[in-house]
Structure 1
Amino acid sequence: MTGSRPNNPAQLGPERRDESWRRLGEETFDLVVIGGGVVGAGTALDAATRGLRVALVEARDLASGTSSRSSKLFHGGLRYLEQLEFGLVREALRERELMLTTIAPHLVKPVSFLYPLTHRGWERPYTAAGLFLYDTMGGARSVPGQKHLTRAGALRMVPALKRDALVGGIRYYDAQSDDARHTMTVARTAAHYGAVVRISTQVVGFLREADRVSGVRVRDVESGRETEVHASAVVNCTGVWTDELQRLSGSRGRFRVRASKGVHIVVPRDRIVSDAGMILRTEKSVLFVIPWRNHWIVGTTDTEWNLDLAHPAATKHDIDYLLEHVNTVLATPLTHEDIEGVYAGLRPLLAGESEETSKLSREHAVARVAPGLVAIAGGKYTTYRVMAADAVEAAAVDLAGRPQPSITDKVPLIGADGYHALVNQADHVAAEHGLHPYRVRHLLDRYGSLVHEVLALGEGRPDLLRPLESAPDYLGVEVIYAVSHEGALHLEDVLARRTRISIEYPHRGTECAEHVARLMGEVLGWSAETITREVEVYNARVEAERESQSQPNDESADARRSAAPEVRSGITEPIS
């Protein structure tokens, strides 16, 4: 590696961005990874920790697609047991255990669910047998096993349920995480181990030497600059954009990817009185009610989507579907007025024979589609690390030497080391910075042991240790850190992904947008005109999303959502 580097390679701030552009154009890499979702970030981390030279490029922001719009669960996939996909469940449970104990204990937490029983006789032993299998496959290693409840016991756990909505219940555990924060932390960990990680960097072409792919041509969508990035192999980790990148490469794909839209709504915690989440059966699949800080997430839908891949739109029909199904069991129904946030994401499913997206495979596929080019798609968030290892293995044939084995099952993400000790020391850390211990614990669950880096930015700036205007769950210093260390370039990056203000407050970020933009501008050197533009573009996004959510179908919702300006105006289709 040439040139000097800042002392902290995981610091993805403005200085790093300039240096990364230089490195992309000057160095030759073993792997170039296209796509900054969890699989792309995981692939970069897997390759970097094997000792390979790696570059990761993303046209928009880290986790800006599917990886910030999931159900936010690390789960074994209880419903896959019914489909007899035992291998998939066992693999997912092993990954969940690794996240909870070794890789990301600061970001991934246990969460309990009630499975309400609605039939007497057969359902309890049937469900218990499935949960017993779930537990023995690994579901009860570091979380409690299943617990059977009478109807009275289940109602004590979840008083919000109608008395006639169940005859009993079974409590079990899974795990959850802020998906956008987790993905970003995986990418920063890859950078920590030497990977070049650069967002707002779009692949606009592929380089070739004879019959093999030898790199990519990229454009900085912020400045319009272009450069060539040379590599022994390229890995396409673009999820729902897999087919578009395949066409751009000029290579014939080995599999097709179809997009399935999943919509979630967010409601205040006090609207559903419960000590646990819930998993409810529907006519097609299951519906989750998931605890999320001071909120509940209710989801998801599962419908085919053939429109704008970057900005999938939720419709009134989607929202009505969720309300209708959750209200079948709630004593006090939820209404549209209860909804604080709505988000829609696209699952990249491997296309199969069935036309129903809920039956398409959640297993992943990896293929060397051309010499020097590997594509990976499908799978589920929980198994991203396994997918990443498979992608690097598939690319190994194009590398000069055989790479070392994958070791990411032993590599904690940044912020994990020292986390547990800091939890015990939260009162001391709080006193040192003049914060409430509750606030420090909240920060620890977002940053882990990096909390010292975050709070250090508030030294001499007491204003930064105060809550944001109209978004008091977050401190001003977190906005500064999002730009200086976590690579955020636009207001949307902070409000929608570095924080989750866009789904956690009824105003969806509009009431704190100017405050956040001013703080970002301190680090990025924004003019008053730039601050105004960022706020206007973000507010237009929120307005377009609100309008789309009142539309009756996908086509009209997509038209409303697509009318909003693109904050990264330099992006062209197809994108990574």
Structure 2
Amino acid sequence: MGRQARTASWSGIGRLGVVDREDAWQRLGKESFDLVVIGGGVVGAGTALDAATRGLRVALVEARDLASGTSSRSSKLVHGGLRYLEQLEFSLVREALAERELMLTKLAPHLVKPVSFLYPLTHRVWERPYTAAGLFLYDTMGGARSVPGQKHLTRAGALRMVPALRRDSLVGGIRYYDAQVDDSRYTMMLARTAARYGAVVRTSTQVVDFLHEADRVSGVRVRDVEDGREVEVLAGAVVNCTGVWTDELQQLSGSRGRFRVRASKGVHVVVPRDRIVSESGMILRTESSVLFVIPWGNHWILGTTDSDWRLDLAHPAATKQDIDYILGEINAVLATPLTHDDIEGVYAGLRPLLAGESEETSKLSREHAVARVAPGLVAIAGGKYTTYRVMAADAVNAAAIDLPTRVQPSITDKVQLLGADGYHALVNQADRLAAQYGLHPYRLRHLLDRYGALVHELLALAENEPEWLRPLEHAPDYLRVEVAYAVSHEGALHLEDVLARRTRIAIECPHRGVDCARQVAEIMAGILGWSGKTTEREVETYVARVAAERDSQSQPDDEAADASRRVAPDVRPHLDALDVGTQR
């Protein structure tokens, strides 16, 4: 086979485009799998990658979109969990720091970046040595392996780093480093990498029942929520990676669960970068937890809250009380307070915490648990985004008991995500590449930090559509070709998938994506073959979603906010309206 033929045969590997969906559907019905993974969040995608790279036949099904739940609504941090040191969870911190190091340096340097934080000191004498001791432990456990260690600052030095702070709000400060990530893009790249190694990955595919053979689970029945078709998928074992839906899927399977999951709501607010003059992020102590001020491109992410949520798991809603709490905590230290008018975006996510004795969700452990709840069925829950890879390995190890062949050890600590290989060289060549494609070098670097070495694949789509290299109207941080690529390679099926997850327009623009919705929908329509009626419905559904979210954010409590959010219709027409059977 010649070089050109070999290249052609490898092109599109790991692609999750609309042209691949029918093939994936046929494979679900015709093939027998070693493992079926339910849930397209970071743990589900990580489990699919772990299993596929061990040589197993794997299918991953997700009822909505990749990262459509918790895994797109985090604090966007990859961190060791500094505050867990106070809870004496040393093993969790050490494990998380090791994973952070892998993600930063090897697995996904194009997606995971170092980020600095200032910890303002507010008490003289005792607080600096106390905090320094904790940060010293953090650094020596792996926190300063590839990022700078702690740096102590006087009050003047801290104010030079963060001029936005009130002078009387601190007596000094300590700077330390962690890392950040675009959580939804990382999850999507995980899923694409799993597909690259042979996994069948299919979104808009809801588990509606479990198959049984004697006393064991032997597979699942799934529904295509776009057209209503159903098919049975046979498997040696099924892994429930559905996060806050773990208990609901457990109920659907007919098996008794080994643990319970509590949903803890975390709300974040996004404001423009110029509203807080600072060279660094911040971590502020609150009465119950901590508040992060996280740099995010031309924005700041402020959060988070931590409260029980017992309402709609698919669409957790932020209340006015949540937003007021965040603004109140940050305004207590800012020289120029923030107002509601400064807010560009708001999002709420649910942490899947293992239920414990404490009534305070902020004190529930972030450890994860894995259980073989029935022959052929494994459930995993708890944990945190940073340790997804460890969770995935544990899940596959637990499922291996039900497989007839010997399962190889996990190797995902050696498997780079798509886009990582060659990334550093491309960064060094950014100016030349920018000239080659007629882009500003800043724009090219921005693309490299979203696509890595796949940037050539992205820009190749614009060869016959030079107009696609222009920015979107009303969302100039993104090029039109990124919308096309989201559909052709990244599995986006609906307008919401692009505006809320493949890009972050839904939280980064004051209009929340409404002003550019029609332009984005028209680009998608040309690739997905939408009719004018379908295009109009996508725009109307998205506008209704944003309106419902805005209304929920003006409500005084969870019940009222939930009622407001539920008004918006679901864009996937055949999705079960019940929480049972839905996945994050």
TM-score where L is the length of structure 2:
0.97
Is the counterpart of residue 527 in structure 1 residue 534 in structure 2? Answer: no
The one of 297, 302, 311 aligned to 2:301: 297
Alignment of 1:140-539 (within 5 A): 140-539=144-543
Q: Tell me the distance in 1 between the aligned counterparts of 2:412 and 2:10.
A: 25
SS in 2 for 1:203: strand
In 1: Cα distance, 2:537 partner to 2:213 partner: 43
CA distance, structure 2, for counterparts of residue 361 and residue 215 of structure 1: 31
How far apart are 1:6 and its partner, in Å? 8.4
The letter for the 1-side match of 2:565 is R
How many Å apart are 1:9 and its aligned residue? 2.9
TM-aligned CA deviation for residue 360 of structure 1: 1.1
For the 8 Å contact 1:6–1:16, the answer to whether it is kept is no
Q: What is the alpha-carbon distance in structure 2 between the residues aligned to residue 564 and residue 360 of structure 1?
A: 32
Residue 73 of structure 2, aligned match among 69, 73, 76:
69
Runs of 4+ in 1 over 6 A off after TM superposition: none
Q: Which of residues 547, 569, 572 in structure 1 aligns to 2:573?
A: 569
Q: How far is 1:402 from its partner?
A: 1.9
For residues 174-209 of structure 1, give each alpha carbon's deviation from its aligned partner in whole angstroms, at most 9, with x where no partner exists: 000000000000000000000000000000000000
- Code of the residue aligned with 1:11 in structure 2: it is R
Return the offset for 1:45. 0.2
Q: CA deviation at 1:461?
A: 1.4
Amino acid at match of 1:345: G
Residue 13 of structure 1, CA deviation: 0.7
Identity, % of aligned pairs?
81
- Out of 553, 556, 560, the residue aligned to residue 549 of structure 1 is 553
CA distance in 1, matches of 2:464, 2:351: 45
Give the counterpart of 1:560 among 564, 567, 579.
564
Q: Which amino acid aligns with 2:512?
A: R
Q: CA deviation at 1:15?
A: 1.5
Q: Distance in 2 between matches of 1:14 and 1:482?
A: 10
- Letter aligned with residue 417 of structure 2: L
Q: In the alignment, what sits opposite 1:34?
A: 38
Q: Greater shift after overlay, 128-137 or 356-365?
A: 356-365
Contact 1:115 1:169 in 2 (8 A): yes
Deviations 1:121-168 (A, max 9, x none): 000000000000000000001000000000000000000000000000
For 1:333 and 1:208, the matched residues in 2 are separated by: 59
Matched residues in 2 for 1:112 and 1:300: separation?
A: 18
TM-score by length of 1: 0.99
1:8 Cα shift?
2.4
Alignment-mate amino acid for residue 538 of structure 2: E
CA distance in 2, matches of 1:110, 1:543: 35
How far off its partner does 1:460 sit? 2.4
The answer (yes or no) to whether the contact 1:265–1:343 under 8 Å persists in 2 is yes
SS at match of 1:403: coil
Match of 1:86 among 85, 90, 112: 90
Aligned residue pair count: 572
Give the whole-Å Cα distance in 2 for the aligned partners of 1:568 and 1:355.
Answer: 35
Moved more, 37-46 or 458-467: 458-467
Q: Give 1:437's aligned amino acid.
A: P
Q: Is the 8 A contact 1:365 1:378 kept in 2?
A: yes
CA contact (8 A) 1:9 1:194 kept: no
Letter in 2 for 1:171: R
CA separation in 2, counterparts of 1:322 and 1:66? 20
How far 1:7 sits from its partner (Å)? 4.8
Q: How does 1:131-146 map to 2 (within 5 A)?
A: 131-146=135-150
Partner SS, residue 264 of structure 2: strand
SS of the aligned residue for 1:559 comes to helix
What is the rounded CA distance, in whole Å, between the counterparts of 1:509 and 1:173 in structure 2?
32
Cα offset, 1:50, TM superposition? 0.3
Which ranges of structure 2 fall in alignment gaps of 5 or more residues? 1-8
Gaps of 5+ in 1: none
User: Structure 1 residues 387 and 345 mapped into 2: Cα distance closer, same or farther (>3 Å)?
Assistant: same
SS in 1 for 2:571: coil
- Note the alpha carbon deviations across 1:294-317, whole angstroms, 9 max, x for none: 000000000000000000000000
Corresponding position of 2:132: 128
Could you tell me how far apart the structure 1 residues matched to 2:130 and 2:393 are?
A: 36
Secondary structure of the residue aligned to 2:453 is helix
- Distance in 2 (alpha carbons) for counterparts of 1:14 and 1:569: 17
Whole-angstrom distance in 2 between the partners of 1:96 and 1:361: 19
